[in-house]
Chain A
Amino acid sequence: MKLIIAIIKPFKLEEVREALTAIGVQGMLVSEGKGFGRQSGHTEIYRGAEYAVTFVPKLKLEIVVSDALVATVVDAISTTAKTGRIGDGKIFTLDVEQAIRIRTDETGPDAL
């Protein structure tokens, strides 16, 4: 099993979710965050004083899938979250040691 962490632009969420459920992903966790990569922020003026807004709002998606599904999922996210402009985000894959469904105590790929 692999944990796929995807940082995407917030307005891309619905598109990505639709693509993922279409290929059989059954669950995901979304959290709001702020970040920057090579997309630096911009400057604002508040009451006559300039300030740099370095952090840009992002969404983090966390999805755990069986190994067989990883490539398709990564590809689906990559395609739908892409705008071609700076700040599209990143995808990371990590190994998952164990997964448990709390309600039924199932473990392993059955828990996904």
Chain B
Amino acid sequence: MKRPLFLSLLAATAMAATPGLAQEAGAAIGGTGLPADGIWIMNTLLFLMGGFLVMFMAAGFCMLEVGLVRSKNVSMQCTKNIALFSLASLGYYLIGYTLMYPGDNWMHVGYLANFNPFAQLEAVGLADGADAADYASTGSDFFFQLMFCAATASIVSGALAERIKLWPFLIFTFVLTAVIYPIQASWKWGGGFLDSEYGFLDFAGSTVVHSVGGWAALAGALLLGARAGKYRDGRVNPIPGSSMPLATLGTFILWLGWFGFNGGSQLAMGTLGDAGDVSRIFTNTNAAAAGGVLAVVLLTQVLYGKVDLTMVLNGALAGLVSITAEPLTPSIGVASLIGAVGGIIVVFAVPLLDKLRIDDVVGAIPVHLFAGIWGTMAVLLTNTDATLMGQVIPIAIVGGFTFVASFVVWLVLKITLGIRVSEEEEMMGLDAAEIGIEAYPEFGKASQY
């Protein structure tokens, strides 16, 4: 006799809410495990693969931003993205990596590493042995962590688009990636005080990466001001983006890259447990993105009578940011819900920023800062090692440090070089004013303002 539908739904929800309700007890496989060399190689492999997936998120950010700005600013956005990624690569090598991972080389233990420029990899062929025999190759560690640093910088470029000067932006990026990001990241991932004193949990960086990008973007947006005409006459005037396909493509690319972002943050794949965990992380990451999308699809349909694609794209990313602090322990169902809440937050945060007259072109602040804070708090839902104060206080500390440091840098740049193009240049478009290369030279531009 068929079960009534609602009982089946109830059972399904119960199953979804209880992680690890397996059919059989955990099966031992071979029982021997990999030799130490094998584990080291597998960990290294995880970092390398995760790393190049995260690298491709740079393409994702680029396409997303390009799609949401007007045609006359597209080349500038492309230039910013490829340049900031390269600057991050340089800055992290020069200063950032050792600032973030001092090992024992602290100036003030747990707070500030010694200045130790020029990151060094292990010798060719590992001739001098491995730096960390129980971990992975230094090259793979550097490579992987560099990508996270670059991702943080990418977040900033979207919010500040269409009216910022190129060179001050690049200078800020260098300071962010070489100094600001590594210092706060050392407090958590470098073994610093957030980790040791607060037991702060942030698996792949909802706070350390995403909210940091968001705070830096917010500081910049406040000092930069809104785009011309955005809030004219006391109204909020939409400035539609130039390419929905590119924006969507960018979002899908980010989604893909996030498997590396979260999955690689397991930091190990040489044991059964780790392999299983990376699998959970990939799955939960996907579920959260989907949850974010669906929440926004439904919510914008209800609120606005039409599904807003650009908000849906933000919803996917907000979902991904939300799960980033704890992609391992939730069940698929809970991960979906965590992502969905991220999506809901974005739908309300975007108009809120407009109300405050903070012009964020792509929704970077709602997605990375707001959802980043939510994601960091959501750790409490499924990870019993997390404590309320152990999450809240680090969020505030990282936020305070990043916002103030970024604000100071932006302010100095504003006073010295100026960070905003002239009104005429803004009308002309940054491609013409700053880059000298039109993105779509054959297309008519008569209808743009």
Binding partners A and B: yes
Residues in B whose Cβ lies below 8 Å from that of A32: 444
Question: Which candidate, B6-14, B234-242, B252-260, is the interface stretch facing chain A?
Answer: B234-242
Separation of A46 and B303 alpha carbons in the complex (Å):
12
Q: Cβ of A46 and Cβ of B238 under 8 Å apart?
A: yes
Residues in B whose Cβ lies below 8 Å from that of A51: 237-238
- Of the residues B236, B306, B363, B447, contact of A49 by C-beta under 8 Å: B236
Residues in A whose Cβ lies below 8 Å from that of B310: 46-47
Residue among A44, A48, A49, A51 having the largest count of chain B Cβ atoms under 10 Å = A48
Known contacts: A51-B237, A51-B238. The answer to whether A45 contacts B351 by CB under 8 A is: no
In the complex, A90 has a CB within 8 A of chain B: no
Q: Cβ of A47 and Cβ of B238 under 8 Å apart?
A: yes
Cβ-Cβ contact count across A and B, 8 Å cutoff:
37
In the complex, A34 has a CB within 8 A of chain B: yes
With CB as the reference atom, state the residue of chain B lying closest to A45: B304
With CB as the reference atom, state the residue of chain A lying closest to B348: A48
Q: What band does the interface of chain A fall in when counting residues whose beta carbon is under 8 Å from B?
A: 10 to 19
Separation of A46 and B239 alpha carbons in the complex (Å):
8
With CB as the reference atom, state the residue of chain A lying closest to B230: A49
With CB as the reference atom, state the residue of chain B lying closest to A32: B444
Instruction: Report the minimum CB–CB distance from B442 to chain A (whole Å).
Output: 14
- Of the residues B237, B306, B444, contact of A45 by C-beta under 8 Å: B306
Q: Cβ of A48 and Cβ of B237 under 8 Å apart?
A: no
Instruction: Report the minimum CB–CB distance from B227 to chain A (whole Å).
Output: 13
Residues in A whose Cβ lies below 8 Å from that of B308: 45-48
Residues in A whose Cβ lies below 8 Å from that of B305: 45
In the complex, B367 has a CB within 8 A of chain A: no
User: Which of chain A's residues 29-68 have a Cβ closer than 8 Å to chain B?
Assistant: 32, 34, 44-51
Q: Cβ of B240 and Cβ of A48 under 8 Å apart?
A: no
With CB as the reference atom, state the residue of chain B lying closest to A46: B238
Separation of A9 and B311 alpha carbons in the complex (Å):
31
- Of the residues B350, B444, B447, contact of A47 by C-beta under 8 Å: B350
Instruction: Report the minimum CB–CB distance from B244 to chain A (whole Å).
Output: 11
Residues in A whose Cβ lies below 8 Å from that of B354: 47-49
Residues in B whose Cβ lies below 8 Å from that of A47: 238, 308, 310-311, 350-351, 354, 363
Separation of A44 and B308 alpha carbons in the complex (Å):
10
Residues in B whose Cβ lies below 8 Å from that of A50: 238
Residues in A whose Cβ lies below 8 Å from that of B240: 46
Residues in B whose Cβ lies below 8 Å from that of A44: 238
Separation of A46 and B363 alpha carbons in the complex (Å):
12
Task: Digitize B345-369: 1 where CB-to-A-CB distance is under 8 Å, 0 elsewhere.
Answer: 0010011001000000001000000
Residues in B whose Cβ lies below 8 Å from that of A46: 238, 240, 308, 310
Residues in B whose Cβ lies below 8 Å from that of A49: 236-238, 351, 354
Task: Digitize A3-20: 1 where CB-to-B-CB distance is under 8 Å, 0 elsewhere.
Answer: 000000000000000000
Instruction: Report the minimum CB–CB distance from A26 to chain B (whole Å).
Output: 27
Residues in B whose Cβ lies below 8 Å from that of A45: 238, 304-306, 308
With CB as the reference atom, state the residue of chain B lying closest to A34: B447
Separation of A48 and B310 alpha carbons in the complex (Å):
10
Task: Digitize B297-323: 1 where CB-to-A-CB distance is under 8 Å, 0 elsewhere.
Answer: 000000111101011000000000000
Separation of A50 and B447 alpha carbons in the complex (Å):
20
Separation of A48 and B303 alpha carbons in the complex (Å):
9
Separation of A47 and B308 alpha carbons in the complex (Å):
7
Separation of A44 and B307 alpha carbons in the complex (Å):
12
With CB as the reference atom, state the residue of chain A lying closest to B352: A48
Separation of A51 and B231 alpha carbons in the complex (Å):
12
Residue among A45, A49, A50 having the largest count of chain B Cβ atoms under 10 Å = A49
Separation of A48 and B311 alpha carbons in the complex (Å):
9
Separation of A45 and B310 alpha carbons in the complex (Å):
11
User: Which of chain B's residues 227-280 have a Cβ closer than 8 Å to chain A?
Assistant: 236-238, 240
Instruction: Report the minimum CB–CB distance from A8 to chain B (whole Å).
Output: 19
Q: Cβ of A48 and Cβ of B306 under 8 Å apart?
A: no
Separation of A5 and B312 alpha carbons in the complex (Å):
43
Separation of A85 and B131 alpha carbons in the complex (Å):
77
Residues in B whose Cβ lies below 8 Å from that of A34: 447
Separation of A45 and B354 alpha carbons in the complex (Å):
14
Instruction: Report the minimum CB–CB distance from B198 to chain A (whole Å).
Output: 36
Separation of A51 and B449 alpha carbons in the complex (Å):
15
Q: Cβ of B351 and Cβ of A48 under 8 Å apart?
A: yes
Instruction: Report the minimum CB–CB distance from B356 to chain A (whole Å).
Output: 13
Residues in A whose Cβ lies below 8 Å from that of B303: 48
With CB as the reference atom, state the residue of chain B lying closest to A49: B236
A-B contact pairs, 18 of them (CB 8 A): A44-B238, A45-B304, A45-B305, A45-B306, A46-B238, A46-B308, A47-B308, A47-B310, A47-B311, A47-B351, A48-B304, A48-B311, A48-B354, A49-B236, A49-B237, A49-B238, A50-B238, A51-B237
Extra pairs beyond A46-B240, A47-B238 (7, CB < 8 Å):
A32-B444, A34-B447, A44-B238, A45-B308, A46-B308, A47-B310, A51-B238
4 tightest CB-CB pairs across the interface, nearest first? A46-B238, A48-B351, A49-B236, A51-B238
